[in-house]
């Protein structure tokens, strides 16, 4: 068991609400973050000037600080970075206001890389943060558009006002009343050619993007894999 830390900010794994991980696992995961080709461009050094925090929306809402992300990474503090990977990284709103860093750091970018590793490795935090998100992943990976008109359901967006209900009730008609010919769709944002979807599937399969979601949602992964392989087989494309 790792020794209790003297750092008041750092919590023990059990306190942080996730299971105990051996140090080697943490080192391996943080190693993946640091070896990412983008990492050297995302982190130079940190002055602790606080510019990133002042510009950060999430810092105003959560106990979140892009400066702590940059600092932990600068210090190569495996324990602290691992803790952040279990918690903080999902609070970032990815607006990239922190890019104003005078050192040229990109805390939001560091977080992107940390999230990718968390997803790839199926960390508890990733699964928790993405609970309820599977439908979106399915949509984007299978249809090539993220937001579809038929997502506008009053029960999904009860806080968005009564217009959501109007839209969902009139969806088919109102979509047909859009003058651009590509927008008469209800299940995708616009009409995406079939061949284009096949090309997208090739990208997901060739780059390992599909594999990434196996850890987060095995069910969705299986459905997608089946769908994609079947379509590629029909097209006679091998990957």
Partner 1 sequence: MSETAVSVILSKKKQFDREPDRRSADFHDKLFQLEAEGELVVQRISGDYVEVPTKYGIAKKIQKANLWHHKSCGQCGHIPGYSTSIFWIMRKLGYGYHDPEDQTSCTAWNYYASATSNQAAQAAVALRNFAAAYETGYFPLIHCGTSYGHYKEVRSELLHDGALREQVRKVLAKLGKEMVIPEEIVHYSEWLYAVREEIRSRMVYDFSNIAVTVHPACHYYKLVEGDAIFDPDVYHGQRTAAVSGLVQSMGADLRSYSTFFDCCGFGFRHILVQRDFTRSFSTLRKIEVMKAEADPDVVLTHDTGCVTALDKSQFAARAHERNVGIPVLSEAQFAALAMGAHPFKVCQLHWHSTNYRPLLEKMGIDWREAWKEFEVDAKRLERGEQEFLTWADVDA
Partner 2 sequence: MDERVVVIGGGPAGLSAAIAAGQLGAPVTVVEKLGYLGGRPIEEHYASLTPHLADAEEVMGGMVHDLEACADVEILLESEVVGVSEGDAPFTVSIRTPRGVVERTSPSVIVATGFQHFDPGRETQLYGYYEFPDVVALQDLEAMLKEGSVVRPSNGEAPKRICFVQCVGSRDRQIGNEYCSKVCCGVASKEATEVRMALPDSEVFIFYIDMRMYGYWESQIYWPAQEKHHVQYVKGIITEVLPKDGKLLVRGEDTTMGRPMEIPMDLVVLSVGMEPSPGTRRMAQMLGIEQNKYGFVEAKNPPLDTVSTSRDGVFAVGTALGPADLEDCASSGGLAAARAVARLGTRVGG
103 part of the interface to partner 2, by CB under 8 A: yes
Tell me the CA end-to-end span of the chain in Å, nearest whole number. 44
Among 32, 54, 136, 214, binds partner 2 (CB under 8 A): 54
Q: Residue 108 and residue 42: Cα distance in Å, rounded?
A: 9
Region of 99-107, 131-139, 145-153, 227-235 interacting with partner 2 (CB under 8 A): 99-107
61 part of the interface to partner 2, by CB under 8 A: no
Contact between 110 and 117 under an 8 Å Cβ cutoff? The reply is no
43 part of the interface to partner 2, by CB under 8 A: no
* Shortest Å distance, C-beta 2 to partner 1: 26
Region of 11-19, 24-32, 65-73, 159-167 interacting with partner 1 (CB under 8 A): 159-167
Q: Residue 154 and residue 141: Cα distance in Å, rounded?
A: 24
Among 33, 43, 51, 119, binds partner 2 (CB under 8 A): 51
b/e per residue 22-53 (b: at least 16 CB within 10 A): eeeebeebbebbeebeebeebbeebeeeebbb
- What's the angle, vertex CA 30, arms to CA 24 and CA 132, rounded to 5? 105
122 part of the interface to partner 1, by CB under 8 A: no
50 part of the interface to partner 2, by CB under 8 A: yes
For residue 75, CA distances in Å to 56, 69, 106, 113 come to: 22, 10, 16, 17
Among 4, 22, 23, 100, binds partner 2 (CB under 8 A): 100
58 part of the interface to partner 2, by CB under 8 A: no
Q: Residue 27 and residue 182: Cα distance in Å, rounded?
A: 49
Among 15, 25, 147, 222, binds partner 1 (CB under 8 A): 147
Among 32, 34, 55, 214, binds partner 2 (CB under 8 A): 55
Contact between 90 and 129 under an 8 Å Cβ cutoff? The reply is yes
Question: Would you call 87 helix, strand, or coil by DSSP?
Answer: coil
Which residues 205-224 are close enough to bind partner 1 by CB under 8 A? 206-209, 212-213, 216
65 part of the interface to partner 2, by CB under 8 A: yes
Q: Which residues here bind partner 2, judged by CB under 8 A?
A: 44, 47-51, 53-55, 59-60, 65, 67, 100-104
């Amino acid at each position: 068991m790792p020794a209790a830390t003297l750092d008041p900010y750092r919590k023990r794994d059990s306190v942080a609400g996730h299971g105990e991980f051996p140090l080697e696992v943490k080192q391996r995961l943080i190693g993946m973050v640091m070896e990412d080709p983008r990492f050297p461009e995302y982190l130079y050094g940190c002055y602790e000037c606080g510019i990133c925090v002042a510009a950060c929306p999430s810092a105003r809402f959560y106990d979140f600080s892009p400066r702590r992300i940059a600092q932990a990474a600068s210090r190569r503090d495996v324990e602290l970075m691992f803790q952040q990977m279990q918690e903080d990284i999902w609070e970032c709103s990815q607006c990239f206001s922190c890019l104003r860093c005078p050192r040229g750091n990109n805390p939001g970018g560091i977080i992107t890389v940390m999230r990718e590793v968390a997803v790839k490795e199926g960390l508890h935090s990733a699964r928790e943060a993405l609970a309820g998100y599977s439908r979106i992943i399915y949509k984007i990976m299978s249809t090539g558009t993220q937001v579809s008109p038929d997502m506008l359901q009053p029960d999904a967006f009860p806080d968005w006002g009564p217009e959501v209900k109007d839209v969902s009730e009139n969806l088919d008609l109102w979509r047909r009343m859009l003058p651009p010919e590509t927008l008469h769709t209800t299940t995708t944002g616009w009409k995406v050619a079939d061949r284009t979807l096949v090309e997208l599937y090739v990208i997901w399969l060739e780059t390992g993007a599909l594999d990434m979601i196996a850890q987060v949602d095995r069910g969705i992964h299986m459905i997608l894999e089946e769908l994609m392989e079947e379509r590629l087989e029909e097209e006679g494309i091998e990957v």
